């Protein structure tokens, strides 16, 4: 199929992009890596978009650490996140996640901010953001906002971003001494969206567990987290299965996904013990 775009403009700066969005009468769409948007347009699932291309705004790209906070620019490509030694040191969960995201060609173009703002419930980065307690940073006509990951993901393909706002970066606390970050997922083929995925982060303050591909948005499994903190794996496995409301589709039923969530939690915990032993 042939895409039917309503228009295209390349933004020179974040301010310029915001102006373009403001002038688009609600038809504006931010184009970054284009790995989801262009595919949707090519299937005519999205028609008439006024594309605001932010891909040349260099200030939106890059990884910096300062004062115990890791900041990753929204335009940083998946491949750059995956190759970054800084990310590997301070947020190894993201490094792991990249190896599960699609295929090399997609990782070379797709951006972390795009994945977060697109909010596909089966994507890895949103769940990582939840597990790591990250904060999303946006710019808009009203100024900058900082939105905790737990408030950011709202529904399928829906976030707390307003139509006239742009996601600019994600910040997260750098991994503390002894912190362990684990990602487990099962997909039909390597690079496919996960049937179910799970992130487990263990910090001095306790466990954090997030899941993806288990409902309309990634979730933080707080009951399971409390059970793990209490040292009760069986309770955590039971909890994780009941905390999610997974869909049934052509790849797997909800019942299979519930089962899998428990399996992945057990595997993550086993790895945790292996790592700390």
Partner 1 sequence: MTIPFSNPDRPNSYIGKTVPRPNAAKLVQGRGRYVDDIVLPRMLHVAFSRSPVAHAKIGEIDLDEAKAVKGVLRVFTGKDLTEVCTPWVAVLAHLKGLKSPPEHALAVDRACWVGEPVVAVVATTRAAAEEAASVVMVDYEDLPVVTETMTALDKDTPVIHPELGDNLAFRRLHEEGDVDAAFESAHKVVSASFRTARHTGVTLEPRSILVDWNPAEGQMTAYHATQAPHMMQTVLAKHLDIPESRVRVICGDVGGSYGIKVHVYPDEVATAAIAKVMGRPVKFIADRLESYTTDIHARDHEIEARIAVDADGKILAMDVDDWTGIGPYSVYPRTSAIEGNQVVNLCGGPYDFANYRAQTTVVFQNKTPTCQYRAVGHPIAVAITEGLVDMAAAAIGMDPVEIRRRNMYADDAYPVTSPAKMKFEGLSHHASMDKLIEMMDYDSLRADQAEARKQGKYRGIGIASFIELTNPSPFMYGIGGARISAQDGCTVRMDPDGSVVALSGVTEQGQGTEAMLSQVVAEGVGVKPSNVRVITGDTQVTPYGGGTWASRGAGIGGEAALQAARALRDSILEVAAAMLQAEASKLDIRDGQVVDADTGEERMPLEELGRIVYFRGDTLPKDLPRELVQTRHFITMEYPFAFTNGVQASYLEVDTDTGVVTLLKHWCVEDCGRVINPQLVDEQIRGGIVQGLGGALYEEIHYDEDGQLLNGSMADYLVPMAAEMPDMQVAHVETPTKESELGAKGAGEAGTAGAPAAVMNAINDALRPLGAQVTEMPFTPERILRALGKIDD
Count residues contacting partner 1 (CB under 8 A)? Answer: 22
> CA-CA distance, 197 to 96, in Å (whole number)?
12
| Interface of this chain with partner 1, residues 194 to 213, rule: CB under 8 A | 195
Take residue 240 and report the two structure tokens written for it.
Answer: 């994780």
Exactly one of 41, 97, 161, 186 binds partner 1 (CB under 8 A); that residue is 186
Take residue 218 and report the two structure tokens written for it.
Answer: 């990634």
**251 binds partner 1, rule: CB under 8 A:** yes
The DSSP 8-state label assigned to residue 56 in this structure reads: T
Exactly one of 6, 191, 216, 247 binds partner 1 (CB under 8 A); that residue is 191
Take residue 133 and report the two structure tokens written for it.
Answer: 């307690």
Alpha helices in the chain (DSSP H): 14-22, 37-42, 78-83, 85-90, 92-100, 104-109, 112-118, 124-132, 149-152, 222-229, 233-243, 254-276
Nearer to partner 1, 44 or 162 (CB): 44
DSSP lists the bridge partners of residue 146 as 137
HSE, CB side, 13 Å, CA atoms: give it for residue 5.
Answer: 15
**193 binds partner 1, rule: CB under 8 A:** yes
**190 binds partner 1, rule: CB under 8 A:** yes
Crossing angle (nearest 10°) for helices 92-100 and 124-132: 170
**4 binds partner 1, rule: CB under 8 A:** yes
Contact of 31 with 51, CB cutoff 8 Å:
yes
Exactly one of 252, 268, 269, 272 binds partner 1 (CB under 8 A); that residue is 252
* Beta pairing, strands 196-203 & 206-212: antiparallel
Interface stretch with partner 1, choices 76-84, 157-165, 188-196, 221-229 (CB under 8 A): 188-196
Nearer to partner 1, 195 or 220 (CB): 195
**263 binds partner 1, rule: CB under 8 A:** yes
Nearer to partner 1, 85 or 190 (CB): 190
Nearer to partner 1, 16 or 266 (CB): 266
Nearer to partner 1, 54 or 261 (CB): 261
């Amino acid at each position: 199929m042939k895409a039917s775009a309503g228009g295209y403009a390349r933004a020179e700066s974040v301010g310029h992009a915001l102006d373009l969005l403001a002038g688009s009468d609600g038809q504006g769409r931010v184009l970054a890596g284009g790995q989801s948007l262009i595919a949707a347009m090519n299937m005519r699932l999205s028609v008439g978009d006024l594309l605001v291309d932010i891909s040349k705004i260099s200030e939106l790209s890059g990884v910096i650490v300062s004062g115990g906070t890791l900041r990753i620019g929204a335009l940083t490509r998946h491949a750059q996140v995956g190759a970054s030694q800084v990310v590997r040191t301070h947020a190894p969960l993201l490094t792991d996640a990249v190896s599960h995201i699609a295929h090399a060609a997609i990782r070379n173009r797709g951006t972390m901010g795009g994945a977060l703002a697109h909010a596909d419930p089966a994507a890895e980065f949103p769940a990582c953001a939840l597990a790591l307690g990250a904060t999303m940073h946006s710019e808009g006509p009203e100024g900058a906002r900082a939105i905790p990951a737990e408030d950011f993901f709202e529904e399928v393909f829906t976030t707390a971003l307003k139509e006239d706002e742009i996601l600019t970066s994600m910040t997260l606390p750098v991994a503390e001494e002894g912190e362990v970050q684990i990602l487990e997922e099962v997909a039909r083929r390597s690079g496919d969206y996960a049937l179910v995925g799970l992130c487990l982060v263990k910090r001095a303050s306790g466990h954090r567990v997030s899941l993806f591909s288990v409902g309309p948005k990634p979730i933080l499994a707080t009951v399971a987290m409390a059970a793990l903190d209490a040292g009760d794996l069986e309770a955590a496995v039971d909890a994780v299965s009941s905390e999610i409301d997974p869909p049934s589709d052509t790849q797997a039923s909800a019942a299979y996904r519930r089962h899998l969530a428990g399996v992945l939690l057990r595997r993550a915990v086993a790895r945790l013990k292996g790592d700390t032993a």
